[in-house]
Amino acid sequence: RTLKREIISMYKTKKARFEGFINDSTQRVSLTFDMQLHSKHW
């Protein structure tokens, strides 16, 4: 029972870290895309 709870909490931590990593890289990509778009306008 305790082991299952530990595994679930470990999975949640990994999932949160993974989602944060995805959000970070997505923001970085969209920022680069916006910069390229603006430079094309000028």
Distance between CA 2 and CA 25 in Å, rounded? 35
pLDDT means per 10 residues in the chain (42 residues)?
A: 93 96 91 81 59
Q: What is the DSSP letter of 1?
A: -
Whole-number pLDDT of residue 1: 76
Q: What is the DSSP letter of 42?
A: -
Whole-number pLDDT of residue 21: 94
Whole-number pLDDT of residue 37: 80
pTM score: 0.57
